[in-house]
Chain A
Amino acid sequence: MVTDKEFINVAAAGLEIEAEPFSRLAERFGLTQAEVISRLQRLIDEGKVKRFAASVRHKPMGYDFNTMLLVRGEPGNLDRIGAAVSRFTEVSHCYHRHHPDGDPHCIYIMIHTREKSRMDEIIGTIAELHGVRGVEVCTSLVELKKTSLSRVSSSVKP
């Protein structure tokens, strides 16, 4: 019987766009399509797969302005800043991490907009939030790689 890891490492390559897209996975593993589908559903129910869905490239959809912000906050205000920032629909990711210089109170924010004016407006609003000590705009100069996580076991061994 195929393990969950073997199964997901293959499934992660994604579906062909065809009428019965689960048939290839079924054939590959000697399962029925119903078994493939119930395995995926179980992995979702267990939280190992967040959803089975489309990943999109935002640039061809017109989201030309994409920025990472590092926001330093007062220690007692990080949660409040994180919650306020998360309300922007243009914010896709908002995490607390250390700043690379060692400051432990930093929030990382990814913002995507179609217009530069909207990007500037959002950054301006965040900079004015209560408890924000400083904002660094880290515009991307070169995209070297952008993929989906495609394996749950490694291609290399230590």
Chain B
Amino acid sequence: MDDLDGEILDRIQRGVPLVRRPFHALAEELDTSEEEVLARVKRLRDLGIVRRLGPIINYRRWDMYGALIAANVDPERIEDVRSVVMAYAEVSHAYLREHSWNLWFTVVAENEGVFDLVVGDITAKAGLRDVRKLKRLKTYKLKVRFKA
């Protein structure tokens, strides 16, 4: 990765210009060609660095219900957890962590009823114990941006 890759990554993490030819707009800003920007963004995607170019959804404004779940799972059942969380679009992140609560995942659902249904199904299928629903009470910071 060179400086131009870094500038492109920085810029597209802040936002893709909402115009008919966004990569052309980026090229003008960065003083290069549309072809160059397209080729580089494709390469960044192929390298696995760019995961998606899309809308970052503010679920609260859609009246959705979200929380972090902490639970305990038998590490031998980790593949059960993986297959059931992969099946639910409502689960965005899931990690096995080094802690007495060893399973952590985030669920965002259309409403609390769906939320509880999803968590209940994961609990049953993977044998979770001590399941805790942890609502976000205050946001001090939310800024997911990585410098190249």
Query: Which A residues lie at the B interface, using CB under 8 A?
Result: 5, 8, 11-15, 17-22, 33-34, 37, 40-41, 43-44, 46-58, 60-61, 63, 68, 70, 78-79, 82-83, 85-86, 89, 91-98, 100, 107-108, 112, 136-158
CB <8 Å contact, A96 and B138: yes
CA distance A155 to B121 in the complex (A): 14
Query: Which B residues lie at the A interface, using CB under 8 A?
Result: 9, 12-16, 18-24, 34, 38, 41-42, 45, 47-59, 61-62, 64, 68, 70, 78, 81-82, 85-86, 88-99, 101-102, 104-105, 108-111, 113-114, 116-118, 130, 132, 134-148
CB <8 Å contact, B52 and A148: yes
CA distance A97 to B142 in the complex (A): 14
8 Å CB contact of B42 from A8, A17, A100: A17
The answer to whether residues A145 and B56 also contact, given A20-B21, A37-B20, A53-B15 and a CB cut-off of 8 A, is no
The answer to whether residues A139 and B38 also contact, given A86-B141, A155-B88 and a CB cut-off of 8 A, is no
CB <8 Å contact, B89 and A63: no
8 Å CB contact of A139 from B9, B14, B97: B97
Interface of A is mostly: mixed
CB <8 Å contact, B141 and A152: no
The answer to whether residues A47 and B97 also contact, given A63-B146, A92-B143 and a CB cut-off of 8 A, is no
The 8 A-B residue pairs with the shortest CB-CB distance, nearest first, are A82-B140, A14-B54, A86-B141, A96-B138, A14-B52, A144-B94, A54-B12, A154-B110
CB <8 Å contact, A47 and B58: yes
CB <8 Å contact, A156 and B52: no
CB <8 Å contact, A12 and B96: no
What are 16 A-B contacts defined by CB distance under 8 Å?
A12-B55, A15-B54, A17-B45, A37-B20, A50-B58, A54-B51, A68-B95, A79-B140, A97-B68, A145-B82, A145-B92, A145-B105, A147-B92, A152-B110, A156-B88, A156-B114
